[in-house]
Amino acid sequence: MTDEQRSLARRLVLGAAGAAVPLTLAQAQGQAQQGQPATPTQTGPAVLADPRQKYPRPPFPRQEQPWPGLASRMDPKPDHGETSYRGSNRLAGRRALITGGDSGIGRAAAIAYAREGADVAINYLEAEEEDAREVVRLIREAGRKAVAIPGDLRQEEFCARLVEQAARDLGGLDILVNNAARQTAQTSIADITTEQFDSTMKTNLYALFWLTKAALPHLRPGSAIINTASVVAYDPPAALFDYSGTKAAIIAFTRSLAKQLAAQGIRVNAVAPGPFWTPLQPSGGQQPEALPQFGAEAPMGRPGQPAELAPTFVLLASAEASYTTGDVQGATGGRPSS
């Protein structure tokens, strides 16, 4: 047998032993552009995907929804990792409570946590039930326990009940993700009513305080608290006056609490996303006329998709980040995040 024949025979044996059929270059690129992981061939690494083209780019159709908005009614629909996220047992046996878990960033975290082996409780508003049912289905399809707890985080008593029910139904609590938020764009401070200001503060800050206090008795060394901040904490837009203030406060909250809880072995971190395509945007978070170009100002030229943040939430919850606390992880598409 010649050297060429031996080389061909070896490739055939390796190809037969592999579980996946190699993709052509065009097929792999097509999967990457649709947000699906490119399957590696037997003769080389996975094809690189251009991050600028991986997901939809502006302009987007003009669209509006009543608050709080539904992911299922957005155009294009956000990618939360429903078909692309692959777990590797990094959160096996963990129990997580995620607020705003029906859509957007919270939904992406819930899907990823379940596929990493965690049982998950999600909180959402009753108006978001349609999206929440889909998340529950995806968690259960991953073989994990799903707990759905609707309710308004602006009420202190509900926040306490939420934590107690989640801990009871999950058999404990190891991860708290404070993600739910209220965002309403207004061109002038004169247009912000006391009702709006109060609603934003209670959803974004008071609930963070109430939920964290209620969760602490359930958390043990090795547990994690993850808060969702925003790039607007560093570069506040003129139209997001009250929202930006709460996100800056969340970063200070995170860093101060991390110092308090380090002695108990509990880590506290935050994620500060840039422009992400979630129901916050068409349901009042952006001016309707600005939405078609949402994310275009980022150096990547597009908004992020929730699926692109899931790995960050997994890392911060996992034992792999055991020395990471008081940190703020950015995902901004190139916008300055400090």
Residues forming the active site? 243
Contacts of 226 (CB under 8 A, 6+ apart): 175, 176, 177, 178, 179, 268, 269, 270, 271, 313, 316, 317
Contacts of 51 (CB under 8 A, 6+ apart): 300
Q: Residues in the chain, how many?
A: 338
Give CA angle at 277 (187, 332), nearest 5°.
85
Cross-strand bridge partners of residue 119? 95
Buried b (16+ CB within 10 A) or exposed e, 177-194: bbbbbbbbbbeeeeeeee
Q: What does the radius of gyration of the chain's CA atoms come to, in whole angstroms?
A: 21
CA dist., res. 123 & res. 169, Å (int)? 13
Q: How far is CA 256 from CA 56, 156, 178, 200, 323, in A?
A: 38, 22, 16, 22, 16
Report yes or no: 250 and 273 within 8 Å, Cβ to Cβ.
no
Helix (H) or strand (E) segment spanning residue 329: strand 328-331
Question: How far is the first Cα of the chain from the last one, in angstroms, to the nearest whole number?
Answer: 63
Report yes or no: 292 and 333 within 8 Å, Cβ to Cβ.
no
CA dist., res. 163 & res. 75, Å (int)? 34
Helix, strand, or coil (residue 289): coil
Helix, strand, or coil (residue 288): coil
